């Protein structure tokens, strides 16, 4: 992918087209007006943010190339022997007192506690103390189901059907909503934290990918590649931090987030169903695409995306 992006930029230079910072004549101040394309999306990130992403990408890429696989990473045989060690009591409840569904989970080690966070259809995110197997805090603010949740350092980010993305900061004994971001015209279906830990990518039912500033609470980059009728079902960030993948009904798009534009699109066979998830391997070589009819396709990013490296059909069981 990096090679394809380099070739694209070289072709633009040869044709006299603007590349990198020159491509987007934007004000570096957050929240200022941005240039827009014909579809209403922004013409790339502000230069200062682009430079921050570039610096983090170089740092991550260098670390990845030197990194060895940790010894504690489970092998396939170990995973096959996993057993359940705890059953956290359901705390997501409807107004009538019945248990409701959980759509997403994440983990975080904070304040000396290994915490498990769940986002529910009741609009609440609940923090569990995994060792004590009891709820430790409840994050209340969303006005509808929570669709995705992520955590890092001392904070949690959630998004949901109420068209908002929320930043939650840890306080003594609880979490407070520090920022509420409103940019999507519809449900926010998924999110991915940028490695800067100051920004987040969000995908919505409006078919838009947004690059949001968590602290300032503003949208500083937008891109459209999916039809509004299908929307963005899933968002994933490449380990190097400059590329993202979004998934919709039957397509996956790879983005250069610095320009907020699609570099490559992949069509998934119709018999696989709607694409509901996408992720990258830690070594940055493989992309996995999951579809609603139990099909998982693997793509080798080094060989191109014309043909899947492997297709796995998951039994109903």
For range 271-296, the mean pLDDT: 92
- Please give the pLDDT value at position 259: 92
Whether residue 40 has pLDDT greater than 90: no
pLDDT digits (tens, 9 = 90+) for 79-98: 999 998 888 776 888 777 77
Domain 100-226 has CATH 3.40.920.10: no
- Structural domain boundaries of the chain? 43-67+233-316, 100-226
Q: Fold identical between 43-67+233-316 and 100-226?
A: yes
Whether residue 28 has pLDDT greater than 60: no
Q: Which of 39-53, 62-76, 125-139 has the highest mean pLDDT?
A: 125-139
Q: What confidence category does residue 64 fall into, taking pLDDT thresholds of 50, 70 and 90?
A: confident
pLDDT digits (tens, 9 = 90+) for 149-188: 999 988 999 999 999 999 999 887 789 999 999 999 999 9
Range list of β-strands (E), the chain: 102-110, 113-120, 124-129, 134-140, 146-152, 155-160, 164-171, 174-182, 188-193, 199-204, 208-213, 218-224, 234-237, 243-247, 251-256, 261-267, 275-280, 286-291, 295-300, 310-313
CATH architecture entry for 43-67+233-316: 7 Propeller (2.130)
DSSP result, 164-220: EEEEEEEETTEEEEEEEEE--SS-EEEEEE-TTSSEEEEEETTSEEEEEETTTTEEE
What global pTM score does this model have? 0.82
Sheet with 146-152: list strands edge to edge. Answer: 146-152, 155-160, 164-171, 174-182
Q: What confidence category does residue 71 fall into, taking pLDDT thresholds of 50, 70 and 90?
A: confident
């Amino acid at each position: 992918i990096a090679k394809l992006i380099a070739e694209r930029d070289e072709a633009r230079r040869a044709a006299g087209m603007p590349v990198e910072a020159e491509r987007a004549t934007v004000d570096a101040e957050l929240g200022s007006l941005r240039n827009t394309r014909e579809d209403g999306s922004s013409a790339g990130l502000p230069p200062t943010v682009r430079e921050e992403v570039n610096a983090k990408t170089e740092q991550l890429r260098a670390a990845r190339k030197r990194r060895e696989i940790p010894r504690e990473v489970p092998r396939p045989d170990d995973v096959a022997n996993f057993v359940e060690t705890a059953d956290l009591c359901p705390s997501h409840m409807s107004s009538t007192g019945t248990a409701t569904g959980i759509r997403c989970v994440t983990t975080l080690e904070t304040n000396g506690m290994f915490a498990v966070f769940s986002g529910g259809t009741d609009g609440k995110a609940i923090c569990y103390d995994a060792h004590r197997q009891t709820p430790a805090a409840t994050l209340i603010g969303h006005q509808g189901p929570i669709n995705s949740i992520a955590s890092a350092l001392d904070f949690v980010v959630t998004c949901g059907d109420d068209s908002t993305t929320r930043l939650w900061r840890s306080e003594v004994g609880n979490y407070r909503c520090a920022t509420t971001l409103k940019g999507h015209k519809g449900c926010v279906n998924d999110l991915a934290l940028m490695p800067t830990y100051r920004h987040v990518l969000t995908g919505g039912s409006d078919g838009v990918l947004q690059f949001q500033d968590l602290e300032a609470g503003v949208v500083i980059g937008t891109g459209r590649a999916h039809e509004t009728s299908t929307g963005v079902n899933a968002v994933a960030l490449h380990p190097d931090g400059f590329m993202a993948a979004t998934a919709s009904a039957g397509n996956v798009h790879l983005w250069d987030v610095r320009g907020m534009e699609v570099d490559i699109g992949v069509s998934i066979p119709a018999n696989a169903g709607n694409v509901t998830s996408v992720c990258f391997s830690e070594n940055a070589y493989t992309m996995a695409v999951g579809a609603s009819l139990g099909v998982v396709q693997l793509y080798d990013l080094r060989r191109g995306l014309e043909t899947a490296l492997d297709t796995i059909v998951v039994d109903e069981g």
